[in-house]
Chains A and B, each alone.
Chain A
Amino acid sequence: MREDLSVTALVTRVGEGDQEAWNEIVERYAPLVWSICRRYQLDRADIDDVGQSVWLLLVEHIGSLREAAALPGWLATTTRHECLRVLRAGRRRDHADLPPDEQMPDDPAAATIEQELIEAERNAAIRAALAELPDRCRELISMLISDPPSAYAEISAALGIAVGSIGPIRARCLDRLRQSPHLAGFLTDEAQDVEVKQVGR
Chain B
Amino acid sequence: MSDRWDDDELVAALREAVRARQAVPPEFVQAGKSAFAWHNIDAELAQLTYDSSRDTLYEPSLRAEAASIRALTFTAPDLVIELEVSDDSLLGQIVPAQRGTVRVQLADGPETAVPADEIGCFAIRPIPSRPFRLYCQTAAGTEALTGWITL
Q: Interface of A with B (CB < 8 Å)?
A: 14, 17, 19, 22-23, 26-27, 30-31, 33-35, 47-49, 51-53, 55-60, 81-82, 84-85, 88-89, 92, 100-101, 103-104, 119-120, 122-124, 126-127, 130, 141-142, 144-145, 147, 170-171, 174, 177-178, 187-190
Contacts and interface: CB of A to CB of B under 8 A. Distances in A.
Contact of B57 (A35, A47, A84): A84
Contact of A23 (B3, B19, B33, B38): B33
Interface of B: 1, 3-5, 7, 10-11, 13-21, 23-24, 28-29, 31-33, 35-36, 38-40, 45, 53-54, 57, 60-61, 64-65, 67-68, 107-108, 130-131, 147-148, 150-151
Given A26-B29, A56-B131, A56-B148, 16 more contacts: A33-B32, A48-B31, A52-B35, A52-B130, A59-B38, A82-B150, A84-B57, A85-B53, A92-B67, A100-B67, A101-B61, A123-B20, A124-B17, A130-B14, A144-B11, A189-B3
A59 B23 contact: no
B107 A47 contact: no
B134 to A, nearest CB: 14
B3 A188 contact: yes
Nearest to A82: B150
Contacts, number: 137
24 contacts: A26-B29, A26-B33, A27-B29, A31-B24, A48-B28, A49-B130, A52-B107, A55-B35, A59-B39, A60-B148, A81-B57, A82-B150, A85-B53, A88-B67, A100-B64, A100-B65, A122-B17, A123-B20, A123-B21, A126-B17, A142-B18, A147-B15, A174-B7, A187-B5
**Which of B5, B11, B17, B24 gathers the greatest number of chain A CB atoms within 10 Å?**
B17
Given A104-B64, A127-B17, A188 B35 contact: no
B105 to A, nearest CB: 11
A100 B13 contact: no
A56 B64 contact: no
A177 B10 contact: yes
B17 A123 contact: yes
A120 B20 contact: yes
**5 residue pairs, one from A and one from B, having the closest CB atoms:** A55-B35, A26-B32, A123-B17, A126-B17, A100-B64
A35 B16 CA distance: 13
**Which of A56, A171, A189 gathers the greatest number of chain B CB atoms within 10 Å?**
A56
